[in-house]
Homo-oligomer: A and B are copies of this chain.
Amino acid sequence: MKVDKKGAVVLLSGGLDSTTVLAIAQNQNYRCWCLSFRYGQKQSVELEHAEDICHKMGVERHLIIDIGLDAIGGSALTDDIEVPKDRSDEAIGIGIPVTYVPARNIIFLSYAVSWAEVLGVSDIFLGINAVDYSGYPDCRPEFLRAYEKMANLGTKAGVGHNNISFQAPLIAMTKKEIIKTGVSLGVDYSLTHSCYDPVEHLACGRCDACRLRKQGFVEAGVKDPIGYAE
C-alpha cells in the first residue's frame, strides 16, 4: 500500500502527550496511521483509550502490535515492582525511575520505522518530552537525532528511498504548554489516560504521571476532565 506524501505514522499510547501530537499532525494536514503496543504493561487500559481516540479523531488506521516486551522485564510498568507514589517534584526529576522500561522507546521507534517503510511514508510523530521526563535517556533530543541517522542508514531510505524524519513537537514543551496547545486544537482530554497504576480504571492521582498531569492542568488554568481515585 502506498500513500500520498502527507502520510505519517503516529505513536499513540492513549495518553495526554501522544494524543496532543496526533492533533498537531492532523492540524498540519497529515493523514495519520496510529501505532500502539501491547507490551505487557499493567495499565493496558490505555489501549482502550487509544482505540477510542483513533475512532473519534478519524485516523486512517490504528494498529496495535503485541511486542512481548514482558518476556524481558526490568520495569515497574511490566514487572511486579511497585510504582512509586507521592514523589516530590525534585524526586521525579532525579535519576532513572523504576517506571523506565529498558530500551522501550528504541523498540517502539523501530516498529514505527518498519511500518513507515511498508506504508511508504517519511514522517513519524511521537510525543517524547525532555522536560518532564528528563530521567529517561530515550526522551532526549540527542537520542532522537542519533536514532534518525541510524534509521536512515538501516532502511531503504539509506539506499536512495524516502528519508525517515522524526517529528517530536512536544520535546521542549512543559506540560502546561502541551495542554494549552491541545486545547487550542480542540483535543478532548477526557479521552486520554496517563496513570501508571490505575485503580479500577480510575487514575490513581499519585504516581509520577498523574502528578505531572494534574500540575499541568492547574498551571494551564484548565480543568482536567478525567476523574481520579484520590
In the complex the two chains form, is B143's CB within 8 Å of A146's CB? Answer: no
Instruction: Give the residues in chain B near A68, CB-CB below 8 Å.
Output: 65-68
Contact of A106 among B65, B69, B73, B114 (CB under 8 A): B114
Which residues of B have CB within 8 Å of A109?
110
Q: Which of A123-171 contact B (CB under 8 A)?
A: 137-138, 140, 142-143, 146-147, 149-151, 153-159
**Quick check: is A3 within 8 A (CB to CB) of the other chain?**
no
The smallest beta-carbon distance between A195 and chain B, in angstroms, is 24
Output the least CB separation between A34 and chain B (Å).
13
- The interface size of chain A toward B, counting residues with CB under 8 Å, comes to 44
Select which of B63, B65, B103, B111 is within 8 A of A155 by beta carbon. Answer: B103
Q: Which residues of B contact A153 (CB under 8 A)?
A: 137, 140, 142-143, 146
Query: Are B74 and A103 touching (Cβ within 8 A)?
Result: no
| A102 in the interface (beta carbon within 8 A) | yes
* A166 → B minimal CB distance (Å): 12
Q: Which residues of B contact A140 (CB under 8 A)?
A: 153-154, 158
Most buried by B among A65, A150, A155: A150
Judge if A228 is at the interface, Cβ distance under 8 Å.
no
B106–A151 touching, CB < 8 Å: yes
Interface residues of A (CB under 8 A from B): 63, 65-69, 71-74, 96, 100-107, 109-111, 113-115, 117-118, 137-138, 140, 142-143, 146-147, 149-151, 153-159
| Leading 5 A-B pairs by shortest Cβ distance | A103-B114, A74-B118, A102-B117, A146-B150, A138-B154
Sample of 9 further A-B pairs with CB below 8 A, known A72-B111, A74-B114, A137-B155: A100-B156, A105-B154, A106-B150, A107-B110, A140-B158, A142-B153, A146-B149, A147-B154, A149-B150
